[in-house]
């Protein structure tokens, strides 16, 4: 397996994207979106985790199927977290 050497521009771009998403997460936390605050925060966190896994852990440049597995797993866990969070959120008002 050959190692892929990535440019500094790519790493700086990914880092800048992660920093922008962190600022967006912090900014959105001050806006009242009701139950969607959790949804937005989890979506942004999933995107950030996917970027870290794909680029900094070099999964993007491994086998093509591995990249698809990571993306599908990220989407699955996002849906799982959303479902559990929304289930908790809806039951709080029933009690």
Given a cut of 80, is residue 35 above it in pLDDT? no
**Is 2 inside a domain boundary?**
no
Query: Does any domain span residue 68?
Result: yes
What is the total count of domains within the chain?
1
Which pTM value belongs to this model? 0.71
Is residue 67 assigned to a domain? yes
H, E, C per residue of 33-78 = CCCHHHHHHHHHHHHHHHHHHHHHCCCCCCCHHHHHHHHHHHHHHH
Q: Is 85 domain-assigned? A: yes
Q: Is residue 1 part of a domain?
A: no
CA dist., res. 35 & res. 21, Å (int) = 20
56-89 per-position pLDDT tens digit = 887 777 888 887 888 889 889 889 988 888 888 7
Please give the pLDDT value at position 88: 82
Model confidence at 1: pLDDT above 70 = no
Give the domain range for residue 32: 8-92
Q: What is the pLDDT of residue 70?
A: 83
Measured CA to CA, the distance from residue 34 to residue 38 in angstroms comes to: 9
């Amino acid at each position: 397996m050959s190692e892929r050497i990535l440019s500094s521009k790519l790493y700086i771009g990914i880092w800048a994207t992660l920093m922008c998403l962190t600022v967006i997460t912090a900014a959105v936390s001050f806006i009242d979106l009701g139950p969607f605050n959790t949804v937005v925060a989890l979506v942004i966190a999933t995107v950030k985790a996917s970027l870290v896994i794909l680029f900094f852990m070099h999964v993007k440049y491994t086998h093509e199927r591995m990249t698809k597995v990571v993306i599908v797993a990220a989407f699955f866990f996002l849906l799982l977290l959303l479902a559990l969070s929304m289930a908790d959120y809806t039951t709080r008002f029933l009690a």
